[in-house]
């Protein structure tokens, strides 16, 4: 038996990178998976990979910065897959290359907040009644070392991701009596953003790897995905409000 047999997961930004890795890892453990992404083609690719591995998945196109898209996506997944047990708020956006604080305009700063913080809030509010109906639920929200450390040229992203952590801790307290657990993951993984960074600044990228005690970038499925499986499973039934740094030991602020 898989650790997530009989459960339904809804994963934002699931078309590639970390989101795809989580979808594959959860499907491997028996979860039925709903994947939403702004790019319809990549969402379909993830769903196809899940199905080819023997799992069940639905691909949904949507912009999670828009509440109506979040509501439609979750409702489609619930109808197609038979409920909702797990929510993974992984979708993210930040300008590449980054911007120093004085170079942000309001529109760009706002877009970062919408895609990271507001999207997480939308999906959590929409998913909560489905968890209450089940009598349980597991939410996994994604933050970043950019926020816990305070990386230069990542001010909007840092603000949004630390906002996600604050939101998650409050939800863990408010919704714990309802059987809903809320945890946070801060990854350092081979995502599309990481690949872009390596292409734009190979020396900086390599220097960062050399600062990681485990001396490698994490794998989206095998490293990040497996931690998410644990957090969504009964094995983590007494874990909530926690931040898990899946970063090979690279974070300097806890």
Residues of the chain by 3-state class (helix, strand, coil), percent to 5? 55, 15, 30
Total Cβ atoms within 10 A of residue 230: 18
Quick check: is 157 catalytic?
A: yes
Strand partners, 34: 10, 58
Catalytic member of 118, 142, 157, 245 = 157
Assess whether the previous peptide bond of 97 is cis (omega < 30° from 0). yes
* Count, residues in the chain: 254
Sequence-ordered strand ranges (E) for 7-122: 8-12, 32-37, 57-61, 86-89
Is residue 197 packed enough to be buried (19+ CB in 10 Å), middle (13-18) or exposed (0-12)? middle
b/e map 22-48, b = 16+ CB within 10 Å: bbbbbbbbbbbbbbbbbeeebbbbbbe
Active site residues: 157
């Amino acid at each position: 038996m898989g650790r997530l047999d009989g459960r339904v997961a809804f994963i934002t930004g699931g078309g590639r990178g970390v989101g795809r890795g989580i979808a594959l890892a959860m499907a491997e453990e028996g979860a039925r998976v709903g994947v939403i992404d702004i790019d319809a083609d990549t969402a379909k690719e993830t769903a196809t990979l899940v199905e080819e591995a023997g799992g069940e998945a639905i691909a949904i196109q949507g912009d999670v910065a828009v509440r109506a898209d979040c509501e439609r996506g979750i409702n489609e997944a619930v109808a197609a897959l038979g409920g909702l047990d797990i929510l993974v708020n992984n979708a993210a956006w930040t300008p590449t290359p980054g911007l120093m604080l004085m170079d942000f305009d309001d529109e760009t700063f706002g877009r970062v907040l919408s895609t990271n913080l507001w999207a997480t809030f939308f999906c959590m509010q929409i998913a909560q009644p489905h968890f209450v109906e089940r009598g349980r639920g597991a939410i996994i929200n994604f933050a970043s070392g950019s926020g816990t450390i305070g990386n230069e040229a990542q001010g909007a992203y840092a603000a949004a991701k630390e906002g996600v952590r604050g939101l998650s801790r409050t939800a863990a307290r408010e919704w714990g009596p309802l059987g809903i657990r809320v945890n946070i993951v801060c990854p350092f993984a081979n995502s599309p953003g990481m690949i872009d960074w390596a292409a734009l600044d190979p020396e900086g990228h390599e220097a960062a790897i050399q600062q990681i005690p485990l001396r490698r970038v994490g794998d989206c499925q095998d490293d990040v995905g497996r931690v998410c499986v644990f957090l969504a499973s009964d094995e983590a039934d007494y874990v909530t409000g926690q931040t898990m740094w899946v970063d090979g030991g690279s974070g300097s602020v806890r």
